[in-house]
Structure 1
């Protein structure tokens, strides 16, 4: 039972980290909104399960790296409250990792949502052709 209690405490601490990041980091809030929109689009466009897995993996990657970025920024701020070039490098590199993941997720979004959106657009016949 002691192991389960420790495991539960670990889960609570992890959840607190996610909640803190979601409440305090504007970029995480943007990522959450983007994820909700992507999941809603997946439902609306009836994305196949394997493509949905790609969308979920992209979301998980971006969220995970945003959490790591927040952790790195907090540690750097704690250890180096004054400006230092190495602190800047650490923060910039962590933010860069999030940027790479976000660009990747946009590519996944184009690949997954592009074809069904195009089909819906053609099906709507917006310009009255044909």
Structure 2
């Protein structure tokens, strides 16, 4: 049991480190906060919340993994190396794909709600 508790402490320390040092993580948190506010405003259904929260977790996890890959590559290859750059680009691309898919999910959930709200506001 002690080992499990310690492993959670290590994981928490990792989350704190990425949250304290990575600007892109901050940007994703800011986006998550904005989407959460929209979710409350539009009173999302439970399944919509589940999709939104899953997207938050996926994007933040991808960003954390990207940060870990960057640190590993920088540790192993401190100088500029073409293959090291490719590895970092691929990891960053994974974040981009995750964020893009999450944006599509957000669009599917929020676009009809926003359109209905704007349409209702312009009717006489």
The TM-score, its normalising length taken from structure 2, stands at 0.95
Structure 1 segment 1-130 matched on structure 2, within 5 A? 4-125=1-122, 129-130=123-124
The CA deviation string for residues 32-70 of structure 1, in whole angstroms up to 9 with x for no partner, is: 000111111111100111111111111111111101000
> Shift of residue 124 of structure 1?
2.2
Structure 1 window deviating more from structure 2 (96-105 vs 114-123): it is 114-123
In structure 2, what is the Cα distance between the partners aligned to 1:12 and 1:37? 29
In structure 2, what is the Cα distance between the partners aligned to 1:85 and 1:25? 23
The CA deviation string for residues 58-115 of structure 1, in whole angstroms up to 9 with x for no partner, is: 1111111101000000111111001111110110000000000011111011100111
Q: SS at 2:43's partner residue?
A: coil
Structure 1 runs not aligned, ≥5 long: none
In structure 2, what is the Cα distance between the partners aligned to 1:9 and 1:115? 45
RMSD: 1.0
In structure 2, what is the Cα distance between the partners aligned to 1:52 and 1:119? 19
Structure 2 runs not aligned, ≥5 long: none
Moved over 4 A (4+): none
In structure 1, what is the Cα distance between the partners aligned to 2:36 and 2:93? 25
